[in-house]
Structures are given as C-alpha cells and as structure tokens.
Structure 1
C-alpha cells in the first residue's frame, strides 16, 4: 500500500509540473508559432522569434506605387477587397479616389524605414491598424544590436506597442532569391540584381491571399511599345522620374539594379496559374 501511495503521489507531482509548464508555454507565447513562417514580429519586450505573421485574407488588392494609378478612379473598388496591400511609404491621403484609403499590410524596404520614422504620426497613428512587413539585407536587419534598421524597428515597437511590425527573416530572403533564380536561371547576387519591394510583396500576397487583384502594374512589354505614355515612377511624385526610363536603367544596371521588367515577366507566368489577376491596367498572362 505504501509503495502504491508513493506511486500516486509521484503521478500527481508530475501532472502538476506538466500543467505549470503548459501554462508557462502559453503565457510566454512559445505555443503561438502559428501563421506564415518567414515573417517574425518585432516585439516591444523581447527579441525572440515567438510571433509570426498570423493573417489570412480571401481576396486581396495589391496596390502599386506607380503613376499608373492616377486617374483610374479605382479607390472604392480597392477598399472593397478583404485586404489591401501597399508598398513602402506610398500615401493614401489626397489620392483616395484613385488608390483607396484602407491599408491592411505594407511591405516596406529597409531603405524606406526612414520615411516611416519621419512620418510616425501618419503611419502609426492614422494607419495604426496596419501590419508592416519590413525586408532588408542581413547587415541592416541583424538582431545583435548592430542592425541599424532592426534597431529602429525595435524603437518603433516600444513607442507604439499596439502596432504590428514584422521582419522578413534571412531564410525567407534566401527563399525569394531562390525563386528568382528558378524563374530566370540566373543567380540574383551574381547578376548584380536586388529584388524589388514588389517582388517580396507578390510572394507574400500569394502566400496569404486566396486570390490577388493587382492595381497599377504594367506588363513586361509595356515600355518597349512605341506609343507608351510618360507615367511618373511614383503616383505621389508626379514631377519626378519617368517609370519606363527608371525601369530601363535598373534592368541594365551592372550592379545594384532592380530587374523590374524581368520581374513582371515572372508575374505574368504566375498569373497563368489563375490566382493572380492584373485588373488595372488590365492585361493577361
């Protein structure tokens, strides 16, 4: 009887320990690793990778920052979609009729983070419900205190604790590189190219959305047409660079260029699979 009592006491003790451990796991978030792998939240109180981008959308609108958006009057249509994905620091105020007013997610390049810092009231006040997904090279995103951009994101997360800021992990960036190489047959780094924010955005949209409607993105052959029109590179910078000129310069740059035209040819192939559709300007794969 004595040995049986000891046996039950040991079982009870073990059960209590398991319950305490489970409670600790739930409290610290170790059980919260649900969502899209490769997108990790910058938490204001910890640098550990506990929180993933836990979003799922039905139909998404991906809104380009291109001047192609001007005059289209697609704002209301864009706002009707389940999720609206924008890029970098493209504003909506003053452009709502053409680009819409809602923003569910922003995919942000490390080079655009200073724009967020300068306009904190807009991005983390007016757009407080937006999720920010920031990508960049390892030297800027490292988490050992030497990553300049990551440190800035930690500061923002502490100042605006209710804001959801995520980083694209090193492994995810490498995956995007491999997608580029598989599609083009060229090593991204050896070819001197940098992936554009648009490339990261399209991959993310295809992962989290059931269907994707793209606004403001021209096809890969548009700039080769003799009658193509002058369109500003950004809709919010009407007097700046011509879009096609910018595309050509980057496409042929030996180092550090975005392969905008090549990327659009890749999107065309993805669109042939049926999940991705270019609705304005309208074009088919």
Structure 2
C-alpha cells in the first residue's frame, strides 16, 4: 500500500516537473522574441521618421538624422534607454518654430545671394549708362525709386518751382546758364536778422573770392579707395574736401593738401565730429551750409535751422577769429537746385543739392579749371558710402535725400573726360566761370 502511494507521488512529481519545464520554456521563448523585437526596433531608430502635424493641415516630416542636425533631438520623448517614435501635435510649437526658422534662414541666404548678384548686374548697367549719358531713374532699384517719390510727395522745404524745363540744352548752354544763375554768395550783415543782431563782428570782412588756376574737388566716395590719385590731387593749386573726410592715413588715394572744406551744419552741431578740436578743420578756409526754406526766409531760418548752425558758428569764430569761415547764403544753395530742376523733365527731390554739387559750383566760381574726382564713379564703384567709414548704401552714390542722380548727369554733360579718365580715374574736368564765354 505504501509502495503504491509512493509510486503515485513519484508520477505526479514527474508530471509537475514536466509541466514546469514547458512553462519555463514558453517564457524563455517569449523573452527571446521580445528581446529580438526591442533590438530590431532600436536599430531602426536611427532611420526613424519624425512627423509634425499642425491644425492648419500642414505636415512636415524628416528623419532623425536631420532632426539631430537641427539640434532638436533633446526635445524628443525618451522611454528608458530607447527613443520611441512620436507624433508631435500643435502643442509642441517649439518644433515648428525651430524647423521653420531653419528653413527661413536657408531661404533668406539664397535670396540675399541672388539679390546681391542682381544688384551688382543692375549697378553695372546703370554705371555703363551713366558713363554714356543715357540713364533714367527707371534704372534705379525699386527702393531708391520709392524714396525719390516719397521725398517729392512730402516736400518738406515747401519748394514751388515755377521755371521752365529743358533737358536738351547743349554743353555750352548749360555752362552759361550755370555761370549766370549760380554766382557764389555768402551771408553778410546787410540783411535781417543779421544786421539787427550785429553779426558784422562774426562774418569775415572780405568775401571768399581768390581765383586759383587749377583746383581739385575730392569726393568722399568709397570708390576713391585704391585709386592712387593722391599725388595728382596734391598737384593742384587748391584742393576742396567735404565734411569730416580725413586725409591722414589715406594720402596715397586722396592726397594730403586741403585749401577749402565745405561742411553741412550737422558737422558743426554734432559733438561726434569734434569740430572745435579736430585738426582737420584748422588752417584752411571753411564754408558751412544748412537746408533753409526754399523761400530763404532768413528770420525763420535763423530761429529754426536744420541743425544748430549759428550757435556753433559764433563759438568757433570766438575761438579762431582769424580763420576765414563763411556761411553760404540760402539763395545760392537753392539756385543750384533750380538749375538742376530746370534741366530735368522729371520732378527731382525738393531738397537741397548735395555737398558734392555745392562744392563743385563753389570751385567753378573760384578756379580757372576744376578736376572732380570720384563724383562720377569709376570702375571701383561700390556701395561703400565714404572711404573713411564702413557704412554701405547705394543711395550714397545715386541719391536719396539729395537729387544726386540728376546732379551727376549734368556734371557729366558739362564736363570733359576721356574714357580712361572717366572709368579708370573717376575724373571729370570742368571749366571755371572765368573761362566760360557766353553770348551777351
């Protein structure tokens, strides 16, 4: 009996062990399959596609390698040691912002490069047209065309031109008209309010009237860099420079002689130009100008100049009473604008002409012959505004506030220059008024 019981127990034990082995084997197989599944999923993770869905219907997808390159992998959801596939919804706006920002940057770089090449091509065509005297404002870029239209519309100086226009005058006719209409005139104490305010003690007793044989007008344009024109410029009897343009450090290209310096009123009023302390304003004749109203109401202008011209002028005259220092009369400034508009069919900017054109006219009044450098750009033309600064803008060459584009065309029509002088040297030669013979 006992033996029978032992046999039954032994049989049951073997059966249980057999069943346990099957269960263990089953779990072992399941574990192996699970491991293989996880391992396979992990291997594919490097090629995993990550998708973003947005409420507006946009769907952007890229693989995880691109995602990593965008430095976005740190934002992905992680579970343990493995990175899982995930759909990102609108709430994950950070993904959208970074992804679209990257796309925007790449597109912006592409467009900048394309527009830069287009601008270079347009500028070359414009320069070729300018050298040939066959250009119009339609050849300017859209930004500059719009700026010109805006200034014409605003008309801040209340310009009301009533004269005739004729864009077909000959060179001789232009020179005679300029000689007749743009005679140099400075402020003096004979007019109000300067007579009442006793400006006689401030204005020089003798006008600026010395006549020079050969004169150089040196543009401040960036294109004068690497011109090697310094020695030729210094060979002239008189040299005119503009505003705060230095010669020290640039002698090879611009020379170092200065006889007259023309400045807009901002140079006097703005402390950054160091007008009362810088050596570039010493031991030379100075001419200042300010954009007065078109009707040159002197009382109104004295009270409200564009910049604090008169206070700075008096302070300088007190410190340096022997230095010849003049203020150009508003009637002279606006006579130049009238001259340009009368020879242009289009409506030019109703603002004073540039310091460059003012300087050219001053020297035509004072000199027998005037060589102008880089006012008409050479092949070195660039968007660099001034040779001594780093600011770039095509408006500095073709005009924005000033009717510079129209001025250049007239200077080219009145001047003489060989192809070499014009393109390689940026040089145009003009006769002084004393050498222009006109019919009576």
**Hey, what does 1:101 align to over in structure 2?**
256
Q: CA deviation at 1:264?
A: 0.5
Tell me which protein shows more strand as a share of its residues.
Answer: 1
Gaps of 5+ in 2: 1-182, 190-197, 431-440
Tell me the distance in 2 between the aligned counterparts of 1:216 and 1:228.
Answer: 9
Counterpart residue number, 1:201: 359
Give the SS at the match of 2:325: strand
Q: Are 1:184 and 2:344 counterparts?
A: yes
Distance 2:315 2:326 in 1: 13
Partner SS for 1:173:
helix
C-alpha separation in 2, matches of 1:49 and 1:129: 15
TM-superposition CA deviations, 1:169-192 (whole Å, max 9, x none): 12212322221222224665xx43
1:234 aligns with 2:386: yes
| Deviates further, 167-176 or 132-141 | 132-141
Q: 1:180 to 1:157 in 2, by over 3 A?
A: same
Alpha-carbon displacement from aligned partner over 1:17-59 (angstroms, at most 9, x marks no partner): xxxxxxxxxxxxxxxxxxx750247998625684311221110
Quick check: which has more Rg, 1 or 2? 2
**TM-score (norm. length: structure 1):** 0.68
RCO comparison, higher one (Cα < 8 Å, 6+): 1
Aligned pairs, how many? 230
Relative to structure 2, which stretch is displaced further, 210-219 or 43-52? 43-52
Q: Does 1:263 align with 2:407?
A: yes
Within the candidate set 113, 121, 132, 2:277 is matched to 121
Counting helix residues as a fraction of each chain, which structure ranks higher? 2
Q: What's the TM-score, normalizing by structure 2?
A: 0.46
Per the alignment, residue 425 of structure 2 pairs with 280
Asked if the contact 2:223/2:381 (under 8 Å) is kept, the reply is no
**1:38 and 2:189 are equivalent in the alignment:** no
1:234-273 residue CA offsets vs partner (Å, 9 max, x unmatched): 0001x3114x3544561xxxxxx11222111010111059
Q: Secondary structure at the match of 2:382?
A: coil
TM-aligned CA distance change 1:129 to 1:180, over 3 Å? same
Distance 1:138 1:80, change over 3 A: same
1:40–1:51 Cα contact (<8 Å) kept: no
Q: Deviations over 1:182-237 (max 9, x none)?
A: 2224665xx43331111111111111111111112235xx7xxxx97534110001
Q: Secondary structure at the match of 2:283?
A: coil
Match of 2:236 among 69, 81, 84: 81
Aligned mates of 1:249, 1:162 — CA distance in 2: 36
The aligned residue for residue 310 of structure 2 is 150
